[in-house]
Structure 1
Amino acid sequence: MTLLSPYLLLFLLVLPALWWLVRAIPPQPRQQRFPSLILLRTLSPVRQDAARTPLWLLLLRIAALALLVLAFSRPLYIPQQNTQIPQKLVLILDNDWSAIPHWDERKQNALALGEATLRSGGHITLLLNTPDSDGHMPRPFRPADRTALHQFLTGLSPHPWPADRQALARQIQELTPELHDTTIIALSDGIAQTGDDALRTALRPAHRTDDIRWPRCDLIRLSIRQSRQLTAQAETLPDCPKQTLRLLGMRLEKDGHFTTQTNSTLPTGTWLALPDSDYLDAFSLPSVPGPAGMVLLPGKAEQHRVGLLRTSGDDTPLTGSNFYLTRAIQAITPYQEGSLDSLLPRHPDIIIATDGTLSGSSLGDMLGWVRKGGILIRFAGPDLAHQSQQGMKEDEAALLPVPLLSGMRQLGGPMSWGNPQKLAPFPADTPFTGLTIPDDATISRQLLAQPTDDLSHHVWATLTDGTPLVTVRQEGNGLIVLFHITPTADWSSLPLSGLFPQMMERLITHTPVLQKKDDAAHAASDSLAPWRILKTDKTLVPPSPAVRPLLRASEQSVDALHPAGFYGGAAQHYPLNLSDHQPPLVDEAPLGQVKPAGQAVLERPLWPALMLTALGLILLDLCLSLARFGLFRFSRRATLVLGLSLLGVTPLQAATTDQTSPAPQTVPPAALAIRLAHIQTGDSATDDAVQQGLEGLTRFLNQRSTTHLDSPVGIIPGQDDLAFYPLLYWPITPGTHLDDAGRAALKNYIQHNGMILIDEMGAGSDMDGTDGHATRAALKAATEGLPIPPLTTLNEQHTLSHTFYLLHDFPGRIAGQPVYVARQGNDESEDVSPVIIGNADWAHAWAVDSNGEHPFAVIPDGENQRTLAYRFGFNTIIYALTGNYKNDQRHYPEMLKRLKNGDDSGTDGTDESEAP
């Protein structure tokens, strides 16, 4: 044991002074003669003062002070070292797949060896033998102290691919001039690999080399052979004892997680035939961690790769397009959801697009994909109904099987004389031939095709009145299919019937392949893009940008740039496993003197325990002194609880078991009251200003409405639960960054009807003083992958402009900046924009300091502009809380006109119910 601050032990010399201190406190009682002894005998003393401090109390106080002095001297337990501590130490830490079973023990040994050298004033160089995910070897790490070494090892994790001994040997050769007086300790995995000879040669100049190893038989690798029948082996190093392991057959679900389907046993070292695995995607040994305990199986070649384009709100239960489509196709084939940019690199065979998912620059990419042999299945909707055939671009018209009439046909309803139409029998030469049409499948709205001479050649399904329901046209080598209705229940009852999933199954499995893809497409299919990568915890995750495609014909083994996982896509996934193209497991020749693991023991600080014990004695002294003065009396139960507390047992643990009750669960404060939230940027000035802005807006809303909001809070997506907040304010700065967890949290928030107000904080304006390119680039990178719908400029007709106040402009601290919201399909749409994007810097206009003053000026209209900014924020909150409930008010003038109401008040387009 050693002391980090030994000079503090001098305070032990003052302990004898405690004798004189306790003699003075309390003072000795004064003797007073009183002749009436009879009166004194009848008195019962309330308080007793001792003439002298009891010896046990004196010893208790001396022990408490002595423990405090020892604690402040910071004693440290140092285990006895069997060997001399090296002054120059090189640690080689294996962090490949074989290091996973004993990874925590490896880090503890490395820390124990390193801190011993650092404490003696030596120097450490830490080398890792496995490349990082970018394929480059990590640079040697030279910690300055134990804290730096501990932080480095804490953040270190093993990689699920083999080591690179050749690259490690080159790093050691760079240290050759320094190795003559250096001790090298290798925390080895014990498995022979390519490059062992080069590593052994590089270690020869060292003064001494030790090889620390863990039990060799703990290393197990699952291998599977695929011939006429699957056979599996749990491979171990030679001469290891036999053991029986549990083998699970796994199936990959659409969310990327595995579910167990079969459960069997597998003896080690023996090839065993596996049961039918046509419906399985992987086999796993649950007792073997990392990719060594899992083998992925190839996808089925006959499956079609299906992609589903999605927009915000598509998966809303009972109303979203994806809600119906996913339930129609999930039992048919695996599929992928996402944007067009994320689906096309996976080479899908079929893409299903709902209304509003095809726009802008994606039209050309989609058209090119169709012409190369893709099948596009489209559904109509309000956006497609409002597009004029004459105003369509060439790519937009090419992605429709037939020309359409502008507008929407209404069948049935209070404003129509007709009745909903049923489906006519399917023609004989279509994929729908033979399907039974239920009587309750009716169509109430549809898009009409323009009458042409060859219209009948493009029709696969019609209504009873002869109007097309499903049309089709060949485009290049591909096919375009259009349902003239939405996939939801608002235009028809077809999605609610059993016919709809049958029609989707026929389209996916029986749509004719018109022509083969060209040679370029075949060449591209030989290069398999990474789809999902296997992590050390046996879960599949999207690949990093550094992962390279896999050539189908090559015998590529697992490495840093080609980790284990699935390549090629969801339907025809091609697996790459750790055991593929690998030799049998063989023991590695010793790199030096072999030593068993566990001999290095970490240093243990003793001062925390001494400090707690001293504080416990002081607390006991205080309680006993108060009891002696009569201030309160100890019961037996209190004495027991106090004693248990000093022994480290809480009163709750010492309570009787028959009266135990579950601990109350904490409720998040955001669940108890409605409040606004803002996404923290990491910049204190910006976050403080946004917090003041939301405080001011909350105060404005609470004073002018019956709504009561609690104080706003700052949140971090991915760490805080966003479900409690109706509106998120997201300030964008040049340093805005969103990690994968935050992106997933915001994506889930938007998809479940959350609303985000995105503010570029005046980037590029005169007040900002920059060109705004950095902020816009940060906004584009941060929103990449979020389900943001097509946007349009906010105008006076939008519900947000008259939710409470009638607004014509939407300024913040800066005026004249456009505001963008989601494009609405039609006037009757009840969709609420999930995002509002602007550059007006509303937060600084709303901000209120602790004195109730506005610390930031607004330009150029001063307080009038600030009032408009508050009103816009007011409308935004009401819009987030109530949605489009005001949409029906735009029909009031027409309704009054039809009723021939002579009173013209309220028919001028204003909203009389609003505040001025």
Structure 2
Amino acid sequence: MTFLSPYLLLFLLVLPALWWLVRAIPPQPRRQRFPSLILLRTLSPTRQDAARTPLWLLILRMAALALLILAFSQPLYIPQQNHQTPQNLLLILDNDWAATPHWEDRKKHALALGEATLRSGGHVALLLSAPEADGHMPHLLQPADRMALQQVLAGLSAQPWPSDRKALARELQALGPKLRDTTVITLSDGVAQPGDEALQSSLQPAQRKEDIRWPRCDLLRLSIQHSPHVMVQAETLPDCPKQTLRLLGMKLGTSNHFTTQANALLPTGAPHELESLLPDSSSLDALSLPSVPGPAGIVLLPGKAGQRRIGLLRTNGDDTPLTGSNFYLARAMQAVIPYQEGTADSLLPRHPDIMIATDGTLSGTALDDVLAWVRKGGILIRFAGPDLARQSQQTMKNDEAALLPVPLLSGMRQLGGPMSWGTPQKLAPFPINTPFAGLTIPDDATIFRQLLAQPTDDLSRHVWATLTDGTPLVTARREGRGLTVLFHITPTADWSSLPLSGLFPQMMERLITRTPTMQQTDDTSHTQSDSLAPWRVLNTDKTLGLPAPSVRPLLKTTDQAVDALHQVGFYGGAAQHHPLNLADNQRPLADEMALGSLRPAGQAVLEHPLWPALLLLALGLLLLDLCLSLGRSGLFRLSRRAVLGLGAGLLAGGLQAPSLHATDINQAVPAAALATRLAHIQTGDATTDDAVQQGLEGLTAFLNQRSTTHLDHPVGVVPGQDDLAFYPLLYWPIIPGTHLDDAGKAALKAYIQHNGMILIDEMGAGGAMDGTDGSATRTALKNATEGLPIPSLTTLNEQHTLSHTFYLLHDFPGRIAGQPVYVARQGNDDSENVSPVIIGNADWAHAWAVDRNGEHPFAVIPDGESQRTLAYRFGFNTIIYALTGNYKNDQRHYPEMLKRLKNGPDDGSDGPDESEAP
């Protein structure tokens, strides 16, 4: 044990003087006259007076003072060290993804080691092995004292990417001769990574080297492979015992948060086919091991069909019921994805990702528009037919030929029948590098007719499926930044039985989900079209967030592994969802070579301050002294049992007082208190709640792009269950059936009384898009707001602060226009307070809404996008109004102030009368 302020122990010499002082000055005796001996017999003493202080009370007081002196001397309990404390200590702390399982314990070990060196008067330096988010290595940290070391370690967190051992080796080499008298202790993650040899070589000059490691089999990493089936594996280090973990199938929601859709059991150590574990995995966006923290416990899956916009291009004569091409395609697409059907003029303005065209000709502006769309990145899937068979490759225009992946021979090939020597052909196994790889081909899928491709030198490069005789069935070719795919048969049953089999919808599903990620480029140059911009990155808590500006695009032509500049996440935008996972393009897990004498990590024993317990015990003894003194004076009585119980309780409390160590203080902070965000009151109707969530997401993005305010993702709340105090603005959609229980009304009442603001929206009830008279919604609004402290309301006009908080607004439309907006009525003194309630019927949420593809899913009437802009501006003003109040209210006094400033000095008067000042 040691003392941080040992000089205060000199006050212990004062204790004998206190003894002498108490004995030299005894209490003054009290005199009392006795009127009669008879009265004296009936008296009973109510207080005890002594000539001097009792010995036990003197000892109690001296013990309390001694404990106070000891407490202010700040004694520390120092655990016994099993090794020599170095004077120059260099700590190397692995802070990459593999350090996540024991991260807090690693920091405690680093703090215990550093405290011992600093206490002995030595020097401590700290190096981190993982680069920062900008790709640069952290600088060498040199805390001067114990508190500085605590602050440094408290601010560290494990990074969701691997370490850079080569850069760490260069940092050590830069220290040069300083390592010769330095002890280097590495708190390693135990995983082999590139640069281990360079790191070990750079540590050779060190005076002493130690390598502290945690249990190796606690480390797991989830990985996924496409070969050709989707295989998932929970990787461990070699020779670790097998265990069974719970695997969750996750779905990405509109707010970029994952929700669990399915679960299964996954044994460790070997790959398992995903379809056998989770049969409905085609709709999943991620797989997660809840027992594995950080990015090692989750893999992201490629973008699904449901995330793409599909258009079915209508041509003449193909929509005959039960037999037309569109009928077969529609039946196949129903099992894959919702789609939109129309002509080129109606589909292209909707910005589809993929268009499917049946047999027919495109001409004029439609041909030019579709070709331009493909060259900008669109995917066109075509089917053959009689019209395409009649066209000659020599007479075909260049634009028409550009929409075909390969040149075609004129005419149609007949397989089987009385006029043919051939027989119907079956499908050959699909090549491994195509979207159809791994699909099972049924025996009843036969081809009767097909269009043949002209033999060329590079024909094999464009073939995705063939018949058993080797002739192409599906071909594909890159056109600009897009892709054209051709089925050499019709989608109907007149050329083949393939559309009648279960293989046909599976092939369509593979085309839609995997074609955008296929690398079908003919060159290897890294052009702009070969890069995928970061869309969302994975945080350490397994949630998706916006990428930092330092995150670089992902090149499709290279096998990029995860690093600080290419983080785990989705690349390519909301429609493509190309994932980069932690295990992608990485070696299997292996043990790292020892960087010194190996030492297993035990339980870190830190220095414990003893003065809190001593101080509490001293104060308890003083309290006990006070109680005993009052009892002796007769003010109240204390039994001996009570005295003994009070003393025992104080002693036990002092001995069990927790030490106030900085690293042991963990206060639960609500997530809503860590960032400013909007919130909406959930209605219980999934459609309405999803639309409102999308609306607040769109409004938040609009505000973050156009101001320095940064709001986090909005959330849905339930009054009475969630704490509303953290949200500056609540959006409350009112629908028929909306109601609040007593707890909800009490929560909203407290929210309004504590300066909260509620935007109440009747969601266009009774309007052109509602189809009702709105009476049910108005009744629900009346019932829900009954008992709330809503002030007198008036119509919002141009003079109100809300109309010019940021944008100057004359109208306040939402999805529909022309609806009045109500705010609190101004006071009698013509001053304007902040309105706690804003009520309208413009349906602002649907006007603000933005879907996962960045599009506006809901139309606004009657003025379209210009009206949507005004709706965004109203929402912008409302948020600024909720955050800043009526600071813009002074603008109405500006004309009078300018007038007085202009006329005051020139009119010869002494200035304006104070009673007339605005």
Question: What is the distance in 1 between the residues matched to 2:578 and 2:19?
Answer: 82
Deviations 1:759-794 (A, max 9, x none): xxxxxxxxxxxxxxxxxxxxxxxxxxxxxxxxxxxx
Which secondary structure does the structure 1 equivalent of 2:283 belong to?
coil
- Match of 2:164? 164
Q: Residue 875 of structure 2 is aligned with which of 822, 826, 834?
A: 834
Give the aligned residue type for 2:39.
Answer: L
User: Within 5 A, what are the aligned runs for 1:617-628?
Assistant: 617-628=621-632
Deviation at 1:46, TM superposition (A): 2.8
Residue 282 (structure 1) aligned with residue 286 (structure 2): yes
Question: What is the distance in 2 between the residues matched to 1:25 and 1:333?
Answer: 97
Maintained 8 Å contact 1:89/1:123 = yes
- Match of 1:579? 583
Question: What is the distance in 2 between the residues matched to 1:334 and 1:646?
Answer: 73
Question: What is the distance in 2 between the residues matched to 1:24 and 1:111?
Answer: 52
Which secondary structure does the structure 1 equivalent of 2:212 belong to?
strand
- Match of 2:87? 87
Question: What is the distance in 1 between the residues matched to 2:248 and 2:163?
Answer: 28
Deviation at 1:555, TM superposition (A): 1.3
Residue 860 (structure 1) aligned with residue 864 (structure 2): no
Question: What is the distance in 1 between the residues matched to 2:895 and 2:81?
Answer: 69
Which secondary structure does the structure 2 equivalent of 1:15 belong to?
helix
Deviation at 1:174, TM superposition (A): 0.6
Question: What is the distance in 1 between the residues matched to 2:587 and 2:732?
Answer: 53
Maintained 8 Å contact 2:676/2:727 = no
Question: What is the distance in 2 between the residues matched to 1:817 and 1:544?
Answer: 28
CA 1:546–1:38: 2 relative to 1, 3 Å: same
RMSD: 5.1
Deviation at 1:280, TM superposition (A): 2.1
Residue 142 (structure 1) aligned with residue 145 (structure 2): no
- Match of 1:629? 633
Question: What is the distance in 2 between the residues matched to 1:631 and 1:720?
Answer: 58
Which secondary structure does the structure 2 equivalent of 1:537 belong to?
coil
- Match of 2:569? 565
CA 1:803–1:819: 2 relative to 1, 3 Å: farther
User: Within 5 A, what are the aligned runs for 1:431-510?
Assistant: none
CA 1:232–1:202: 2 relative to 1, 3 Å: same
Maintained 8 Å contact 2:160/2:540 = yes
Deviations 1:548-607 (A, max 9, x none): 121234211111111112222334312211111111111111111111223753211111
Deviation at 1:152, TM superposition (A): 1.2
User: Within 5 A, what are the aligned runs for 1:501-650?
Assistant: 526-598=530-602, 601-634=605-638, 644=649, 647-648=652-653
- Match of 2:189? 189
CA 1:306–1:744: 2 relative to 1, 3 Å: farther
Deviations 1:37-86 (A, max 9, x none): 32211012333323443333222211111100001111112222233322
Maintained 8 Å contact 1:530/1:548 = yes
CA 1:111–1:564: 2 relative to 1, 3 Å: same
Which secondary structure does the structure 2 equivalent of 1:163 belong to?
coil
Deviation at 1:826, TM superposition (A): 5.0
CA 1:28–1:287: 2 relative to 1, 3 Å: same
- Match of 1:229? 229
Question: What is the distance in 2 between the residues matched to 1:18 and 1:96?
Answer: 60
CA 1:572–1:741: 2 relative to 1, 3 Å: closer
CA 1:742–1:255: 2 relative to 1, 3 Å: closer
Give the aligned residue type for 2:618.
Answer: A
Residue 752 (structure 1) aligned with residue 731 (structure 2): yes
Give the aligned residue type for 1:552.
Answer: K
Deviations 1:311-361 (A, max 9, x none): xxxxxxxxxxxxxxxxxxxx99799xxxxxxxx9x997399xxxxxxxxxx
Which secondary structure does the structure 2 equivalent of 1:117 belong to?
helix
Question: What is the distance in 1 between the residues matched to 2:172 and 2:52?
Answer: 72
Give the aligned residue type for 1:236.
Answer: T
CA 1:860–1:80: 2 relative to 1, 3 Å: same
Question: What is the distance in 2 between the residues matched to 1:569 and 1:373?
Answer: 13
User: Within 5 A, what are the aligned runs for 1:311-330?
Assistant: none
Which secondary structure does the structure 2 equivalent of 1:295 belong to?
strand
Residue 17 (structure 1) aligned with residue 17 (structure 2): yes
Maintained 8 Å contact 1:180/1:207 = yes
Deviations 1:738-763 (A, max 9, x none): 44549989998668279xxxxxxxxx
Comparing 815-824 with 270-279, greater Cα deviation is found at 815-824
Question: What is the distance in 2 between the residues matched to 1:613 and 1:834?
Answer: 58
Which secondary structure does the structure 2 equivalent of 1:860 belong to?
helix
Residue 293 (structure 1) aligned with residue 297 (structure 2): yes
Maintained 8 Å contact 1:305/1:570 = no
Residue 244 (structure 1) aligned with residue 244 (structure 2): yes
Give the aligned residue type for 1:128.
Answer: L
CA 1:639–1:256: 2 relative to 1, 3 Å: farther
Maintained 8 Å contact 1:718/1:744 = no
- Match of 1:415? none
Query: Where does structure 2 lack aligned partners over 5 or more consecutive residues?
Result: 312-334, 340-347, 356-371, 380-480, 483-511, 656-671, 682-702, 717-724, 734-792, 821-840, 843-870, 904-917
CA 1:834–1:294: 2 relative to 1, 3 Å: closer
Question: What is the distance in 1 between the residues matched to 2:257 and 2:61?
Answer: 61
Question: What is the distance in 1 between the residues matched to 2:337 and 2:896?
Answer: 57
CA 1:518–1:178: 2 relative to 1, 3 Å: closer
Question: What is the distance in 2 between the residues matched to 1:105 and 1:373?
Answer: 50
Residue 68 (structure 1) aligned with residue 68 (structure 2): yes
CA 1:846–1:88: 2 relative to 1, 3 Å: same
- Match of 1:105? 105
Deviation at 1:646, TM superposition (A): 5.5
Deviation at 1:143, TM superposition (A): 1.5
Give the aligned residue type for 1:718.
Answer: A
- Match of 2:675? 718
CA 1:596–1:28: 2 relative to 1, 3 Å: same
Deviation at 1:272, TM superposition (A): 2.7
Deviation at 1:107, TM superposition (A): 0.7
Give the aligned residue type for 1:752.
Answer: Y
Question: What is the distance in 1 between the residues matched to 2:115 and 2:537?
Answer: 36
CA 1:539–1:639: 2 relative to 1, 3 Å: farther
Give the aligned residue type for 1:647.
Answer: A
Question: What is the distance in 2 between the residues matched to 1:590 and 1:572?
Answer: 43
Deviation at 1:238, TM superposition (A): 1.6
- Match of 1:273? 273
CA 1:858–1:199: 2 relative to 1, 3 Å: farther
Question: What is the distance in 1 between the residues matched to 2:645 and 2:674?
Answer: 47
Give the aligned residue type for 2:626.
Answer: L
- Match of 1:452? none
Maintained 8 Å contact 1:299/1:574 = yes
Question: What is the distance in 2 between the residues matched to 1:631 and 1:721?
Answer: 59
Question: What is the distance in 2 between the residues matched to 1:645 and 1:285?
Answer: 48
Give the aligned residue type for 2:131.
Answer: P
Give the aligned residue type for 1:76.
Answer: L
Question: What is the distance in 1 between the residues matched to 2:806 and 2:588?
Answer: 67
Give the aligned residue type for 2:14.
Answer: V
- Match of 1:4? 4
Which secondary structure does the structure 1 equivalent of 2:653 belong to?
coil
